[in-house]
Amino acid sequence: MAKSKVKFICQSCGYESAKWMGKCPGCGEWNTMTEEVLKQATPRRAVFAHSTQTVQKPSPITKIETTQEPRIYTNMKEFNRVLGSGIVKGSLVLIGGDPGIGKSTLLLQVSSQLADNHHDVLYISGEESVKQTKLRADRLGVKSDKLLVLSETDLSFISKAIEETQPSFVVVDSIQTVFHSEISSAPGSVSQVRESTAELMRIAKTKGIAVFIVGHVTKEGSIAGPRLLEHMVDTVLYFEGERHHTYRILRAVKNRFGSTNEMGIFEMKEVGLEEVQNPSEIFLEERSKGASGSTVVASMEGTRPVLVEIQALISPTSFGNPRRMATGIDHNRVPLLMAVLEKRVGLLLQNQDAYLKVAGGVKLDEPAIDLAVAVSIASSFKDAPPKPTDVIIGEVGLTGEVRRVSRIEQRVTEAAKLGFKRAIIPEANIGGWNAPKDIEIVGVKNVAEALYKTLGG
């Protein structure tokens, strides 16, 4: 008879301990250690005997033959872009996001489109009944006999349903509700999530079925459960956005079959999610022209250039220590760039509060936005608005120099499409590429020169 032993496992990071502890040594969280009963597997000899029967001989990598399998496309070009230009057969995709952000809506729409393209899809809901799923399907206009719906949480019954229906795609909503009957811990625990994901991965790889699983997120915004969950899957997607705003951003943070920096933008409407083909127009449509502290930067999100507005508000402080707040960019970058402006340009900013925001809810983390942030700060401090037809691109060093950025041609071309007349770029990026005819290219060497050409001094 299989022996069982008790372990205490952290529900945040998966740290295992033989005894209970109030604070997890792995992640430092309090009261996350829960008791789980682990059943010991078959004897060691039996495992080795079984493994020797199925072992494969190593082969030279030059002798291995590969076949280029075509990707499967949905009607959502933004969804295809984030996945790396389509769905790969046998892949395991994890989608995480805040409650109510639209994860189930997105996957039900994708399932409907795949079913309309004559693919068999099995949608498994562990949080809703079949009738509740049908109510959402009616609202989204889902009508296809190829889309099968099942409300189940037992992994053995889920595996049996997949075996009987033989679908091309499987959606599991969500992985935290699925449980393995041979594990005594509660659904959503580290052991259950790990074993359930491992079984779904086995199904995906052996049968060539593309499996999408929904993962809950913690209050910090990361996917709940062990970090191992993200390592096991092929692709990790995060669905971001404010519940009170209509725009949603689907971002890839891991992708074995494509770029890890792609971003897809959707708009939530009454009939479901609709993709935004040109996000630059959306982010700039409510821009106040002629306002100080407002600049536009061309940022790269994966392979796509996106124009966004950076806003800055500089005001005298009423506290002992000035406040530095930023939304959409790294808050550590704000005091760094303010120190460069104070030391290299001579702006007295040490007694000023600074508030910065990226309009539209986008998060920017590349160095090419440094110059636009610096110009926004100086513009608000001097109350001198830059030209509304300027786009500013460049990385700023600690000595005040403006450094080269990548893919400058794509950034400038996107700005020209949206009617911008002048691009302030690093001087090192001038030459070696063809600029559009209807936009003026201005190269700058340092921050002081950039401020002179954008703000007039």
DSSP state of 341: I
The answer to whether 200 touches 92, Cβ cutoff 8 Å, is: yes
d(CA 365, CA 361): 13
The answer to whether 394 touches 280, Cβ cutoff 8 Å, is: no
The single residue listed with the structure tokens 């760094």 is: 336
Helix (H, G, I), strand (E, B) or coil at 364: coil
- Does 100 show up as a binding residue in the annotation? yes
Helix (H, G, I), strand (E, B) or coil at 352: strand
- Does 104 show up as a binding residue in the annotation? yes
| Interhelix angle 370-382/447-455, nearest 10 degrees | 50
d(CA 208, CA 425): 47
The answer to whether 105 touches 226, Cβ cutoff 8 Å, is: no
- Look at residues 165, 151, 153, 253 and name the one whose alpha carbon lies nearest to residue 209: 165
Count, residues in the chain? 457
| Rg value, the chain, Cα | 26
Which residues are CB-neighbours of 335 under 8 A, at least 6 positions away? 324, 354
- Does 99 show up as a binding residue in the annotation? yes
> What is the sign, positive or negative, of the torsion defined by CA atoms of 170, 174, 242, 331?
negative
Strand segments (E) across 30-82: 33-39
| Interhelix angle 155-165/190-207, nearest 10 degrees | 10
DSSP state of 108: H
> What is the sign, positive or negative, of the torsion defined by CA atoms of 58, 61, 65, 66?
positive
H/E run at residue 452: helix 447-455
Count other C-beta atoms under 10 Å from residue 141's C-beta: 10
The single residue listed with the structure tokens 């499996």 is: 211
**DSSP conformation letters of 252-319:** EEEETTS-SS-EEEEEEETTEEEE-S-HHHHHHTT--TT-TTEEEEEEEETTEEEEEEEEEEEEE--S
H/E run at residue 191: helix 190-207
- Does 23 show up as a binding residue in the annotation? no
- Look at residues 343, 335, 332, 289 and name the one whose alpha carbon lies nearest to residue 311: 289
Residues tagged in the binding site annotation for ATP: 97-104
Q: Which residues are annotated as a binding site?
A: 97-104
